[in-house]
Structure 1
Amino acid sequence: MASPPTSEQDSIRNMPGFDCEFLEPPPENLQTDCPVCHQIIREPYQVTCCGNKYCQSCIQAITNNRCPTCNTEGFSNFPDTGHKQSLYGLKVRCSHQKNGCEWTGELRQLNEHLNTDPLPETQLDGCPLTIINCDFHHVGCAVKLPRQDMPEHQRTSFQIHTSLRCRSQQAEIAALTDKVSILESKVTNLEQNRSLETAFNEFTTTFRAEIEAKFKEKLDEENQRSLQTARSDDAPHTTIPFGPPVLTMTNFTQHKEAGDVWLSPPVYTHQGGYKICLAVHANGHDRFTGTHVTVCIRFMRGEFDDSLKWPFCGKIYFRLLDQAKQTEHRSQVANYDYRAEEAVWCCRVTDKEVADKGWSHELDFVAHKKLKPQYLLNDTLLLQVYKVELS
C-alpha cells in the first residue's frame, strides 16, 4: 500500500481510534483498545509509567500531565512501533459494515478503503458508504453524501456548480485586480521616492559646493587680514595674529594605515619670522599610537634666522579646521620657554633643512573616535597655524 500524503498522515495522527470490529478475536496479550477513546488504538504510543498504549492523539491531548490509567504525574510517552506492527496486521471489517459494506482486510488498509480525506483525482475511490464532500466544496457547495450517491448529485447539480465556480472565479479576479492596484500604487510610490532621492542628491551636491566655496573665501579673507596685521606690527614681543594658507593633508587613510609622518609645506610664523612646518602622525605617535592624530612642530632653516632670537620662546597655536559647519575647529597650543629641553629642537637649525625632532610633549591633539566626517571630507585634513605669541 502506498503511503498517504503528508497532510493526510497528519490528519490521521489527529484522529481518535478506529471505529470497527475485528474479523477474529485478537490475541489475549495484545492491547487493542485505547483507555481514553475506547476504540481500536490508532498510532500506538506507550507511557513509561504503567506501560499502557494509547492513540497518539489521545495521549498527547492530556493537559494535566497525569497518566489516564495509573494517575502518575510527570509521565513520558513514545511511539510503540512493535505494537503498531502487531495491531495493524489484524484483520477487521469495514466501519460501515452495519450499513452493508462487506469489505474486510488488515487494519492498516482500513484508511485506504474508507478514503475519508481523498485527493480530487481519487474522490470516487474507496468505500461507497463513506461520507465525503462534494468535489465543488472549494467553491461553496456544502453537500456531503455517501460516496456512492455523489455522482448523481454532481449530475443533477451541474448548473449550481457552474454558477458557484463562476462566482468563485469572479471573486479571484477581483482579488487579483486589488493586488494589481496595490502593486501599481507601490511602483508609483517607488518612482516618486527615486525622483525625490535624485533631487535631494543634486541639492546636497550643490549645497556642499557652495559651502566649500564660501569656506575657502572666508579663509582667504582671514589670511589677508592676518597678513596685513602681521606686516603692520613692529613690536617684537607681542601677540602676533597669523593667517598662512591652509595646509592640506590628502589621503589621510593611506597615511594612517602606513603609520608614516606627513610634513606640511613650510610657513613663517610672521613677517620676517621663524620658518616651521607641521609633522602629522595620522596614526599617532609614542603613547598615542593607534588612538590619536598627533602633531609636532618642527623648525626649519629660514632666511631670517640671523636676525631672530634663539632658542625660540613663545606660543604657537594651530588648529584642525571644521570643513562643514566651520564652527567646531579643534585647537592646540605648543608652549616654548627658556627651560625647554634641547631635545624639543626649538633651537636654530643650521646643518639641516628640517629639525629631526619637534615639540610634541602631550600633544595628543584629537582622538580617532572624535574625527567626525566634518573634519575628513574627501579623506582630507585641513590644518592651520593661526596665531603666534612671542615672549
Structure 2
Amino acid sequence: MVRSLTQWTKTLSFPTRLSPNNKSAKEVSPTVTPSLSNNSLTASTVNNNKENNNTMNNNNNCSSMTEINQIYSDFESEKTIMSSVVYCIHHKEGCKWSDELRKLKGHLNTCKHDTLPCTSNCGAQIPKVLMEDHLLYTCPQRRTRCEFCSKEFTGHTLEDHVGNCGYEPLYCENKCGVKIQKRHLSQHKNSDCSKRLLPCRYCSKEFVADTLAIHHVKCPRVPINCPNRCDVNFLSRENLESHLKEECTISGCFFKEAGCRFKGSKYVLDKHLEENCQQHLQLICDVVNKQQNQITSLKSSISRLSLNYSGTLIWKISDFSSKIAEAKTKEGMELVSPPFYTSQYGYKLQASLFPYGNGTGEKTHISVYIKILPGEYDALLRWPFAHSVSFTLFDQTTCPDQACNIIESFIPDPTWKNFQRPSREPDSLGFGFPKFVSHEMLKKRYFMREDVMFIRVKVDPSKIVAV
C-alpha cells in the first residue's frame, strides 16, 4: 500500500510566498509532526511558528482552503522544509531510520513497522515486509494442504492436524528400519515387524522375530521323533539321549554300519548279539576287504600321479656310506630307482646301481644299469628299444662353473635280447657300465656331499650317437 502525500503531511503547513528581498516580513516556519533530529528544527523555530499561526489566524479568519493551498507555491520554503532531517513516524516502535523529510514517504513504503491489516481478514496488523510470509505460513485464515494426505485445511486447523495425520510416514519404533504410514504403524509392530518380540511356542521364552527360527533349531523343548521309530509320539529334544539309553523299546544292532539290519528291544538285542557272532564277524571281514581294495586302488592312483613321464630321472641316493658298507658284507646288493617313462605312453624304464660294483667293476667301482620293464603301452611301441641312454654323476661343488660331472652313454644294440619287448619277468640286470666310477674317484671331488649322491638317467630318442 502506497501512502499519498496528504496522508503523511496532514499536520504539515507551509508559509506563504515571501519575497527574498523583503526583510521586514516575518519568516514563517512550518509545523512538523514527525520527530526531528537535533540538527533539524529548533525550539525558536517552533515558537515563531506559533506566533505566525496566531497572526495568520487573526488576519485571515475568512481565508478559504484555496488560500491555504497557495502556501505550497513558495518553492524555496518547501525545499527548506523538505530538507529537514526527521525520524520515522514508527521511531517509538523501534525503527532506526532517520533522513530528510522528502525521503520519509519512500521509507514508509518499506518500513517493517508500517503495518497493514491482514488481507485474509484474520484481524492481525502485519508489517508490510512480513505480509507475504504471514499469508503463506502464519495466517490462521490461510488455506493449505497437508503434504501427506493432501486434504485442505485453514491455518489453525492444520496446526492441530500436523502430528496426527494418519498418512505421515514414520520409522518403526522397534528399529527394524521400515518406514510406514502412521495409521498402519500399530498393525506393523504387532504383526509384521521383524524386531517384534514373540514367545517360543515350546519353551515360552521371548525372542526377536527374526531369530526365532534359529532358536527352534536348538530349543530343548522342540518335539522330535525317536530315530528308532518306537511307540513314543511326543519326545522333546532334551530327553532324546536318556530315552534312547533307558526307555526306547527298539534299537538297532551295534553292527548296523557293517550291514546288520536287526532292530528290537534291549533284551532281544542282547540275545541277537550273542547268537550271531559268526555272522557279525563275516560282515566285519567283508568291510575290511572292501576297504583294503579301496586302499590299493587309491595307492595305485597316487602312484600313477607321481610317475615321471619326462624321459629323465634324477635319482637321489641318500646314506651312501652305509649302503656301500652293507654291500661289502652282502654279495650282489643292488639299489633300484623309481620307474619312469620316456613319455606319457612310452617305454617304462628303471635304473639300478651296485654300490660295491658288479662284474668287472666288483669291489673297485660303482656299477650302473638300465632295464626295460613291462609297460602298459608296449603293444603300441616299436621294438627293439633304440633310444640313446646316458648316465651322469653330478659334481656337487659350490661353484657350478667348476663342476666336473662324470657322463657315460650308449646306443642300444638292436640284436641284443635286453632291448626286445620285455616279458612279464624282465631281465634282472639290464645293460649299463660295470665300471661307471671308481671308489677312489668318489673321494677326490664333491660327488658326495652330506652323504648324498645324485645320478641322472636320460633317455633321448633323437640322438643316434652316444655322448
* TM-score (structure 2 length as normaliser): 0.29
* TM-score (structure 1 length as normaliser): 0.35
* Rg larger in structure: 2
The structure, 1 or 2, with the larger RCO (C-alpha pairs under 8 Å, 6+ apart) is: 1
